[in-house]
Amino acid sequence: MAYPVRRPLLRSLAVLFCGAVAVRCSVWVMSPSPAGLGVLDHRLAVCPDRPNCVSTFSQAVEHRIDPIPFRGSPDDLIQKLKTIVTELPRTRVVRQASNYLHVECRSLWFGFVDDVEFLVDVEQQLIQFRSASRVGYSDLGVNRQRMETIRRACHGTL
């Protein structure tokens, strides 16, 4: 008697699975690495006019976040920062230089990509950063929360 109920359930699960795969594939296609990332005039890119970005360089309250202070030599600072950041799930290093680090963080379900950049300001002994979603309008505070998590992980270790 349970057989007639299983078939529609299995069909529904198959449709949901195929839909999720289609969404995930379209996200990968629709979100190539944006132009304008990196360091220009000792600064990171400006946040777009959407609430899915935070930056230490921003003057706008909705995007502004404080930089991460560090003490001591900046020599292996990027390597230490890379170690902290790559402990986050679904994070991949894209580019690394002596004073710059760019990583991609993917969301769990649909693989949405956030670009996270760090710039070491040796003179002020600060790590400046920017974290922005590639697609969509709101990220429900995910970028801000991620950067606050990284700030806490850095506290006392850098």
Please write the tens of the pLDDT for every residue from 80-95.
999 999 999 999 999 9
Is 69 in contact with 156 (CB distance < 8 Å)?
no
pLDDT at 79 over 90: yes
The CA distance from 118 to 96, in Å, is 10
Query: What residue ranges do the domains of the chain occupy?
Result: 1-30, 35-154
pLDDT of residue 19: 57
Residue 73 — very low, low, confident or very high, per pLDDT cuts 50/70/90? confident
pLDDT at 107 over 50: yes
Looking at domain 35-154, its CATH class is alpha beta
Question: Encoding tokens for residue 120?
Answer: 């070491």
pLDDT tens for 21-53 read 555 444 444 557 787 888 888 999 999 999 999
pLDDT of residue 81: 95
Question: Encoding tokens for residue 2?
Answer: 């349970």
User: Once rounded to an integer, what is the mean pLDDT over residues 93-101?
Assistant: 95
User: Once rounded to an integer, what is the mean pLDDT over residues 93-115?
Assistant: 94
Q: How many CB atoms lie within 10 A of CB 99?
A: 16
More confident residue, 35 or 64: 64
Is 76 in contact with 84 (CB distance < 8 Å)?
no
Question: Encoding tokens for residue 50?
Answer: 């959407």
- Give the least confident one: 14-18, 89-93, 133-137: 14-18
Residue 158 — very low, low, confident or very high, per pLDDT cuts 50/70/90? confident
pLDDT of residue 109: 85
